[in-house]
Structure formats: C-alpha cells, structure tokens
C-alpha cells in the first residue's frame, strides 16, 4: 500500500471520527437544551404550586380570623344581654 493510499485511508477514518463526534455533540446539545427546558418547567410548576399553597393558607387564615371576629362580637353581645337582663331584674324588683 502506498503512502498516498494510507494517508487517504487515514483521512477517511478521521472524517468518520469527526462525523461521529459531530453527531455526539449535536445529541449532547439537544439533550442539554431539553434538560434546560425541563428544569424551567419544574421551576414554573413549583412556583405555581407555591402560589396556590400561599393562596390557600391566606384564605384559611382569613376565614379563621373572620370567625374569631364573629365570636368576639357574639361574646360582647351576650355580655350586653346579661347586663340588660340584670337591669331588667332590678327594675322588675322595684316594680313589685
């Protein structure tokens, strides 16, 4: 085999290796881009989940706060009723 034939064969082998490496690089770039898209999707999903969770907590806490406000108002009203009942008893005793 002549030196030119060996060089031509080596050139063919190197071109095949270069093509293989180029294909591998393209696959790695596609995989990298896909992984970045997946990472962004996960971040977006986690953000939405956190917003929903925070909104749920806010709604729950505001409902609890509203209930305690109503309970306090009810206690004040019941105390007022007790005071008025006491005054009525005093007035009824004075009338008897």
Interval 14-36: pLDDT, tens:
999 999 999 999 999 999 999 99
| Ranges of each domain in the chain | 1-69
pLDDT digits (tens, 9 = 90+) for 55-83: 988 888 777 766 777 888 899 999 999 99
Secondary structure in 3-state letters for the chain: CCHHHHHHHHHHHHHHHHHHHHHHHHHHHHHHHHHHHHHHHHHHHHHHHHHHHHHHHHHHHHHHHHHHHHHHHHHHHHHHHHHHHHHHHHHHHHHC
């Amino acid at each position: 085999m002549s030196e030119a034939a060996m060089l031509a064969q080596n050139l063919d082998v190197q071109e095949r290796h270069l093509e293989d490496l180029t294909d591998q690089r393209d696959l790695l770039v596609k995989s990298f881009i896909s992984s970045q898209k997946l990472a962004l999707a996960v971040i977006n999903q986690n953000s939405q989940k956190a917003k929903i969770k925070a909104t749920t907590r806010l709604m729950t806490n505001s409902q609890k706060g509203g209930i305690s406000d109503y309970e306090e108002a009810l206690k004040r009203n019941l105390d007022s009723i007790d005071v008025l009942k006491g005054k009525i008893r005093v007035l009824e005793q004075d009338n008897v």
